[in-house]
Structure 1
Amino acid sequence: MKQIYRILILLCFAHSLSAQSIRKNYQEMTNYEKTALVNAFYELRNGPDLFNDLAVFHSQYFNFDNTIDPTRLDLHFNLPDEAEREIFLAWHRRQMFEMEQAVQNINPKISLAFWNTTNDQALNSALWDENFMGSFNTNWDLRRRLGHDGPLPTPSEVSVLYGISNFFQFSNEFERRNVHRGAHVWTGGAMPTPLSPRDPIFYFHHVYADFIWYNWEEIHHNSAYITTSMLRYDGTYVFNGQTLPLVNPNDITDTRSLGVFYGSDGLAKLNNYIVSNTYRPEEIFYYQYRIEVGNNFIIPEGANCRIESVNEIKLLPGFVADSGSKFVASIDVATTQQRPQNKVRAKNPYNYDENINTAIIWEEDNKDDTPIIIDSYPNPFSDKITIKLNKNTNCTVAVYNMMGGVIREEAFHNTNTIIINKLYGLSPGFYVISVVDADGKILLAKRVIKM
């Protein structure tokens, strides 16, 4: 018999707006979640059109020839030559968050989901059902061509990505190759063009891309950027009368910084997170299957959080709900099989934009990407960092703080061993080390910790 776990501690509500999300494979969504998400997508096209705004922005800043104007920033294909401009994974993570927040403004119980393109490749997949993603093709005039220009990626191609230990090499391979490219070209229509965010499936695909980055970071723990702000999320862009915040990509390399967790294979683990109610007056974490909450999941005084599952919730050691917080854990029986009524799904084709006819050129980098870094250690460090190379080289090494300021810069000539000494004076915390060869190519960019 299903049980309802409910803990109510002093009813004290936060008055600020809070990120919350358990993202999952769309195949693990309830009928309620699927219909509610589709309804929200349709509603977002009415009034201020976030789909169109994100698509136009993505198109306008997609990719420039930076040899013509090196000051003009863009979103794609900046590696391996321009690591100081690279924001591909972090920008799309923040884009997914912006869309998810808009969806949750309509229905706080739902979240974005992902399409696992390595094992869900059928033309008659439930993904394309007319009650799910299928209706958008006709109603929004997306002109998909499912399967005509594949292929979709294989599980082994994802495994290859997980085996790359250098973050920038991982990001470069991810962006250019089939794990990212495959869904764009296989879907067709808007997807293989700079206007790809017109298609709701773009968000299912890029949530999966974000899930892959999340898994990679759990393995390697060294995602780090040189730039400290991003296009659109630079503190100047206004949408629907609100200025979007300044976002440092280094601040969102952990999805928990955005209140985002991933559930997969019937399990969602919520840990190392402090409920803040930054974006919403109640943080709701919803998952159809087992939710485990513990290991420093903290609900402080004045915070408000709800954990809801259709099947099971387990509170583990390390879970803390402080006095003066509000916490509810419950089994959802009301919406288990419920499918809310479909809202009117009127035709709403996009206005013509010439970029809908511009196919993305999936640039090959045409560089020798043979890894030159053998190892860098120790991490954490106390007074020095040693970097071993597999051949003698001329290079410049820089140490940056997390604000992007240069702490130390030193040139090395014809050596395969780099030692950065006298770092004992640095304050404890996070730093980024960068190794650049004589041609200006980034060989290493790695986050390190000063003890």
Structure 2
Amino acid sequence: MKKVLLSICIFLLILNVSNAQSIRKNYLEMTDYEKSELIDSFYDIRSGNNFFDDIATFHMNFFNFDNTTDTSRLDLHFNLPDESEKEIFLAWHRRAVFELERYVQDYNPKLSIPYWESPTDQETTSVLWDDEFMGSFNTNWSLNRNLGGNGPMPTPANLATLYGMSDFFEFTNELERRPVHRGSHVWTGGAMPTPLSPRDPVFFLHHTYVDYVWNTWEELHHNSAFIRTDMIRFDGTYSFNGETLPVVNPNDIIDTRALGVFYATNGLASLDNYIVSNTYRPLESFYYQFTVEAGDNFIVPTGTNCVIESVNEIVLKPGFEAHSGANFTAAIDVQNANTGKKSTNRTYKPYDVVSNLQVIVWEEDDKDDTPIIISTYPNPFTETININLNKKIDCKVEVFNMMGMLIRDESFQNTDKVIIKDLYGLASGFYVIRIVDNEGNIVIAKRVVKL
């Protein structure tokens, strides 16, 4: 098979009008120029389409519907093992980071969203929080961070526990609820431990790291799978008024390569098992200032456009293919990406204060934060519902009809077995059982059917 490379002059012509795919890296590998460009892109986005406000509102409105009687709506957080078909936490946030990254690359095609490796980067004096980097937004956007005020932050042992799990739903629940995900939210403070957390740009650096952890786990176990196939995604066109929302099948993005995304670590980006398609970009441009290796079924088909660019080294290994008629170039960036700096007006646009905003309450590690798992039988029922819990608690059981009206509530002490009797007078249809603990916190809601 004939393989070709385009000349450098054609490469430069294409590069000037293109957008990139993504090689994501630790923010500590970014040059000062890249950091400045990333911050400017965030200010530019906020003063333009205001993605940060829109996605924060979406995130809040769809945050956690375990706490409502509307079981038909997808929730993004705190899904429980008995409703694993709704566990879209990882996939939704992967797509959210990707959406922001596309806007960033419209500003500068050589940028990707970097990650904050929180298990090893936990100092309040870290360069992450410098006034010329993420610290720029704390005052200018009124984020009111409280760095280090709460915790705990994740440890390498937490990561080892996650990587040792082989069941996907056990992995994703452990990842979400324990310090690898939750730690950076509560440690940062301000908007981060609230449903409006995407207001803070560091949210996306944090969730890029969470995505990196999922990507690493998937490379180890190849076991991610979603039952739900119609995840709502945010792309600025959603509606809450009964219209069909844009959806994506989370199973389609289990592999980051489906979005053209690769992760670099320790100065090496390995591009493999990928077919250039120009699905999202007219030119797929992979940029990393250290070593880039492409091989092992990295294919540039006829009629597609692809550039691999590095400041230091590009290695085309066995298994790399650029077909005849493909527009492909590998190039060394002798100027280290420090060209084309835009003049950006950094609009200082404080967020409006949201009164009575819920702060997410996380259990401390020495407390029992085992999820309450509920099983009900028979379901459908006729006049009696039996409820089994996986641990004994003091609770109140509430029964709602699908109009949201409370039709029964009973209290129970130190029990893991509940029986609700004398329901024969209810009309046929759907009902919701809600378990409330003795502090008034809604533990779980589950839908049942009356014959």
Structure 1 and Structure 2 fold alike (TM over 0.5): yes
Q: 1:8 aligns to what?
A: 6
CA distance in 1, matches of 2:346, 2:67: 42
2: distance between equivalents of 1:58 and 1:234? Answer: 12
> Alpha-carbon deviation of 1:366?
3.4
- Aligned partner of 1:158 in structure 2 is 159
Supply the distance in 1 between the matched residues of 2:291 and 2:247 (Cα, whole angstroms): 35
Deviations 1:306-333 (A, max 9, x none): 1111111100011111111111211112
In 2, Cα distance between equivalents of 1:237 and 1:368: 32
Q: d(CA) in 2 for partners of 1:306 and 1:110? A: 14
- Which region of structure 1 is more displaced relative to structure 2, 82-91 or 346-355? 346-355
How far the C-alpha of 1:123 sits from its partner, in A, is 1.1
Q: Partners in 2 of 1:336 and 1:103 — Cα distance?
A: 15
Q: Give the drift of 1:191.
A: 0.2
1:305 positional shift = 1.0
What is aligned with 1:317?
Answer: 318
Matches of residues 19-30 of structure 1 in structure 2 within 5 Å?
20-30=21-31
- Which residues of structure 1 form unaligned runs of 5+? 1-5, 370-439, 442-451
- Structure 2 unmatched ranges of 5 or more: 364-368, 375-444, 447-451
Give the Cα–Cα distance (whole angstroms) in 1 for the partners of residues 93 and 310 of structure 2.
28
**Structure-1 residue corresponding to 2:149:** 148
Q: 2:253 maps to which residue?
A: 252
3-state SS of paired residue (2:33): helix
Say yes or no: does 1:170 pair with 2:171. yes
RMSD: 2.9
* Contact 1:235-1:246 within 8 A present in 2 as well: no
How far is 1:346 from its partner?
2.8
**Matched AA of 1:361:** V
Distance 2:79 2:149 in 1: 28
CA distance in 1, matches of 2:58, 2:265: 31
Cα contact 1:17–1:277 (8 A) shared by 2: no
TM-score, normalised by the number of residues in structure 2: 0.75
Secondary structure of 1:301's counterpart equals: coil
Contact 1:31–1:339 under 8 Å retained in 2: no
Match of 2:378 in 1: none
Provide, for residues 277-320 of structure 1, a one-character-per-residue CA deviation record: whole Å limited to 9, x for no partner.
11222111111211000111111111111111111110001111
Ranges of 4+ aligned residues in structure 1 off by more than 6 Å: 9-14, 16-19
> How has the CA–CA distance of structure 1 residues 246 and 18 changed in structure 2, closer, same or farther, with 3 Å as cutoff?
farther
How far the C-alpha of 1:362 sits from its partner, in A, is: 3.1
Once residues 244 and 46 of structure 1 are traced to their aligned partners in structure 2, the CA distance between those partners, rounded to angstroms, is: 25
User: Match of 2:97, as an amino acid?
Assistant: M
Cα distance in 2, alignment partners of residues 280 and 306 from structure 1 = 12
Moved more, 284-293 or 227-236: 227-236
Secondary structure at the aligned position of 2:262 is classed as strand
1:126-164, Cα deviation, whole Å (9 max, x unpaired): 111111111111110000000111221111111100001
Give the alignment of 1:10-49 within 5 angstroms.
20-49=21-50
Q: Quick one: structure 1 residues 339 and 326, their matched pair in 2 at CA, closer, same or farther if it must change by over 3 Å?
A: closer
1:116 corresponds to = 117
What residue is the counterpart of 1:267 in the other structure? 268
| Pairs within 5 Å for 1:394-413 | none
Q: Report how far residue 244 of structure 1 moved.
A: 7.8
More RCO (CA 8 Å, sep 6+): 1
Amino acid at match of 2:346: R
Q: Are the aligned partners of 2:143 and 2:200 in contact in 1 as well (CA < 8 Å)?
A: yes
Q: What's the TM-score once normalised by structure 1's chain length?
A: 0.75
Q: How many residues align?
A: 361
Q: Paired residue for 1:98?
A: 99
Give the % identical residues. 60
Q: 1:271, 1:294 within 8 Å by CA — same for their partners in 2?
A: yes
Matched, 1:179 2:177: no
Q: 1:203 to 1:210 in 2, by over 3 A?
A: same
Q: Which amino acid aligns with 1:359?
A: V
Query: Could you tell me how far 1:275 is from its partner in structure 2?
Result: 1.0
User: Is 1:30–1:288's contact at 8 Å kept on the other side of the alignment?
Assistant: no
Deviation at 1:263, TM superposition (A): 0.2
Quote the offset at 1:361 in angstroms. 2.6
Greater displacement, 95-104 / 335-344:
335-344
